[in-house]
Amino acid sequence: MSSAVLFPSDAPPPEFIAEPQEHAQPRRVRHWYTQPALATGAILLAVIVASAVFAPLITHWNPIAQNLNATLLPPSSKHLLGTDQLGRDVFANLLYGLRNDLRIALIAVLLPFCIGTVLGSIAGYFGGWVDTVIMRLVDVVVAFPFYVLIIALVFVLGPGERSIYIAITLVGWVSYARIVRGEILVVKRQDYVLAAQSGGLSSVRIIGRHLIPNVITQAIIYGMSDIVQDMLAIVTLGYFGLGIPPPTPDLGTMINNGQNFMTTQWQLTTFPGIAVVLVGLSLSLIGDGLADLIRPGTS
């Protein structure tokens, strides 16, 4: 039933990325930088995150400053990627859009990760009616297509960042719950868990100290692909005008605006998309590399 590793790849926020590496190092002799996929992904992500964080230092243009005397300019040394229909610098918009979307995607993944992990461990550890209730809830949420539910939720909640977080949390926890539950079902039969149980440790302690640390890696690996998925959702919402309200820079909004000028100013649409692809690529590489580092030879 549990489809577990549908997208066995990618990516947590920076603080997450360091963590599994540190954990993996003492146990395995292999270092993260000997993993080509992981190293490439980490470097690529570092470059992307750095250009998003240091956007104000990289470009001096204000991304939302309009200049109606300089609309739809082609790329030049002054405007690296030209300007859009309102005379805004496209390169600046790209960097700031990436900054916003990446930030929201990284934050959005945290709550579902925590809620899903907790509910998944409870369901897997206790079984019985608790398991039944939680898993039926999972079945109901996955009955809806991801995009349909996200779009519908953001619509009823009203546009804005907060609605995106709520929608992604309500929909996103199910995958983590499924993955963690599946892993717990296997791990809870191990001797050390039985030992802890017969030692009289509380369930909270067993789950928190003994089970979750042993099953969390799969959830983290999935988290990598989940960030990509959230990023796509945010960009898609932006494309439909349901995401972050303008004039806040957003890659989806940029693609939508540029679409009308596709035949003459193709760079308006193309580059925001490439930015999203690169983010996805870096996180997928990290996820794959992590999976390979933890369980060599599986991919």
List of residues contacting another protein (CB under 8 A): 1, 3, 6-10, 136-137, 139-149, 151-153, 155-158, 225, 228, 231-232, 235-236, 239-240, 242, 252, 255, 259, 262-263, 266, 269-270, 272-273, 276-281, 283-285, 288
208/246 with CB nearer another protein: 246
Q: How far apart are CA 88 and CA 254, in angstroms?
A: 11
Nearest Cα neighbor of 181 from 227, 218, 144 is 218
Q: How far apart are CA 169 and CA 157, in angstroms?
A: 13
Nearest Cα neighbor of 225 from 5, 3, 8, 4 is 8
Write the CB contacts of 1 (distance below 8 Å, at least 6 apart in sequence): 135
19/139 with CB nearer another protein: 139
Smallest gap from Cβ 255 to another protein, in A, equals 6
Smallest gap from Cβ 291 to another protein, in A, equals 11
Smallest gap from Cβ 184 to another protein, in A, equals 17
Smallest gap from Cβ 71 to another protein, in A, equals 21
Half-sphere exposure of 14 (CA within 13 A, CB side): 12
216/255 with CB nearer another protein: 255
31/162 with CB nearer another protein: 162
Smallest gap from Cβ 209 to another protein, in A, equals 31
Sign of CA dihedral 242, 108, 96, 281: negative
